[in-house]
Amino acid sequence: MKISFLIHNAYGIGGTITTTFNLAGALAERHDVEIVSALRHREHPNLALHPSVRLRALVDLRKEADHPLHHRPAKVFPAAEYRHRQYSELTDQRIGEHLEALDADVVIGTRPGLNVHIARQAPRRVVRVGQEHLTLDNHSPRLRTALRRAYRHLDVITTVTEADAASYRRKMWLPGVLVEALPNSVPDPVLPPADGTAKVVIAAGRLVPVKRYDLLIEAFAQVAAAFPDWQLRIYGKGEEQPRLRQLIEQLGLWNNVFLMGAATPMEAEWVKASIGAATSNFEPFGMTIVEAMRCALPVVSTDCPYGPGEIIEDGADGRLVPVGDRDALASALLELVGDDERRRRMGRTALENARRFAPGPVVAQAEDLLRRAVTARSTGRRVTADRNHRTPGALAGRGHAARDAAHAAAAGALRAIRKGRR
């Protein structure tokens, strides 16, 4: 198959770029794959790309930032989309020309605004796939309305969790469009796994409010009081760094909690720890959770919408605690810190259970989905679900119906909080 990905800016840093590069690279082992970047701002990508994957850009901001059309607002890219201000009549034109001339069996969009372009402008001979890397409930009502109108012209929508796929099926009227969960994959580790002896807890991600690193630091204060030889290392950069540094000083945790800055790749850091931590209020998937588990770390995470509950099996390969509950978080960390055998056993289970997020199983699912879609397109039919298929990410789930309802309510509350901050 010829597969073309359309991405916002392949030259930046972020989860969508990482997962797109991972999937494209794995598919390139057996298929003809390209990544087309709507925007470009530097000579080379920050992330390593499989040598067989072609990469090109449509608008080079180093040369075309002052192009007259780039100062006019985009008309195809939806105004309610978060990135709308970075798009323009120039991107509308270039993306439209690219899609019109597309020589591929499948085109895959990687964010809502680009999915709208594909839905409206990709040739009907091409299978049109829209990826959701956030969640439906994370989008504003205005954006959901725009997506509902455009997405009916897609063939497939993929989400990163079963919970979000169910939300799309329940809340969007998209007759004939297949909605299927396709989790993110994490490359096979190249280093020996952690052995569970290091007295280190690690968290990684952008230092932004939704990640709740303040909650993690406050919870770890209880761990440090009971086990002063343990450390918490937080990797990442972002707007919260000054506030988090101040909190560390206020709690007197200079010798226990460290803001490590960004690190790429993270695998070399995960294997230096014995426990992973994730404390978000909202997590569409949870890539760092999978990364930690693939390095044999049990992960203590908030049971937030949507990803952690589909990745972690509570009590087997990690712990799930209520969102925002500092004491429950501290208690779960103390359970693992204080019990060497349990921590190591859960780490071994985490390593085994996380294999379902290896490129092999995920790419096999992606290939099957795309082949079904291409076959359906060639016969003039709509692609249908594989009733015998179970998404790798769903295998950890146990009784998600009640959790899904709670997650939907939590996501609504989070949107209300964000709206109030504007």
| Domain limits, the chain | 2-185+360-395, 200-356
Q: Model's pTM, two decimal places?
A: 0.83
Do the first three CATH levels of 2-185+360-395 and 200-356 match, i.e. the same topology?
yes
Burial of 219 (0-12, 13-18, 19+ CB in 10 A): buried
Side by side, the strands of the sheet bearing 32-40 are 54-60, 32-40, 2-7, 106-109, 127-132, 156-159, 178-181
Distances (CA, A) of 282 to 80, 165, 176, 209, 277: 21, 16, 30, 10, 14
CATH number of the structural domain 200-356: 3.40.50.2000
* Closest CA relative to residue 136, chosen from 99, 98, 174: 174
Angle at 104 between CA 102 and CA 107, to 5 degrees: 85
b/e code 30-49 from CB counts within 10 Å (16+ = b): ebbbbbbbbbbeeeebebeb
Which CATH code of 3.40.640.10, 3.40.50.2000, 3.40.50.300, 3.20.20.20 fits the domain covering 2-185+360-395?
3.40.50.2000
Distances (CA, A) of 402 to 161, 194, 221, 303: 15, 34, 32, 12
CB atoms within 10 A of CB 400: 18
* Closest CA relative to residue 27, chosen from 189, 191, 133, 182: 182
Cα 350 to Cα 347: distance, rounded to the nearest angstrom? 5
Strand positions, DSSP E, 8-64: 32-40, 54-60
Q: What angle separates helix 213-226 from helix 326-337, to the nearest 10 degrees?
A: 50
Residue type, 27: L
**For every one of its 422 residues, what pLDDT tens digit does the chain have, with 9 covering 90 and above?**
999 999 999 999 888 998 999 999 999 999 999 999 999 999 999 888 999 999 999 999 999 999 999 999 999 999 999 999 999 999 999 999 999 999 999 999 999 999 999 999 999 999 999 999 999 999 999 999 999 999 999 999 999 999 999 999 999 989 999 999 999 988 889 999 999 999 999 999 999 999 999 999 999 999 999 999 999 999 999 999 999 999 999 999 999 999 999 888 899 999 999 999 999 999 999 999 999 999 999 999 999 988 999 999 999 999 999 999 999 999 999 999 999 999 999 999 999 999 999 989 999 999 999 999 999 988 887 777 765 555 555 544 443 433 444 444 444 444 443 344 33
Cα 323 to Cα 320: distance, rounded to the nearest angstrom? 9
| DSSP, residue by residue, 313-344 | -BTTTEEEE-TT-HHHHHHHHHHHHT-HHHHH
